[in-house]
Amino acid sequence: MITRYSLLTLLAVLLLGRAAGAQQYPVMDMVAEKVIQKYQQSTCQQLWQRKGQKKPQREQEAVQLLRNDPQMRAAFINKVAGPIANKMFECGMIP
């Protein structure tokens, strides 16, 4: 049985770990926020139009950086996955 004290301790550790992880990649956090805003502010039609287009050079470089750094990639995906998946679901882009 989990006591109230141990549950609060676990919650504090998780929150502190999340805050520390967010500070580990401040530039990536800013980029992730921009990506989230892009999805949240785009219409479904705009997202469908962008889906097949070639990515700008700067975006391709950012993707390559994420491919080369698994920890940064995990932090990025953890941050953007929920908002992007929700928008894609709303737009019928994923079942």
What's the pLDDT tens digit per position in 58-95? 889 999 999 999 999 999 999 999 999 999 999 999 98
Comparison of pLDDT for 11 and 50, the residue scoring more: 50
Q: Is residue 7 part of a domain?
A: no
| 6 occurs within a structural domain | no
Please indicate, yes or no, if residue 32 is contained in any of the structural domains: yes
Q: Is residue 55 part of a domain?
A: yes
| Domain assignment present for 82 | yes
Note whether residue 13 is domain-resident: no
Looking at the domain assignment, is residue 65 inside a domain?
Answer: yes
Residue 1 falls inside a structural domain: no
Half-sphere exposure for 33 (CA within 13 Å, toward CB): 7
Question: From CA 66, how far away is CA 31, in angstroms rounded?
Answer: 12
How far apart CA 74 and CA 88 sit, in angstroms, is: 20
Domain holding 57, by residue range, is 25-90
Q: What is the mean pLDDT of residues 2-26?
A: 52
pTM reported for the whole predicted model: 0.69
Domain total of the chain = 1
Q: Which residue has better confidence, 68 or 52? A: 68
In this predicted structure, what is the pLDDT of residue 22? 52
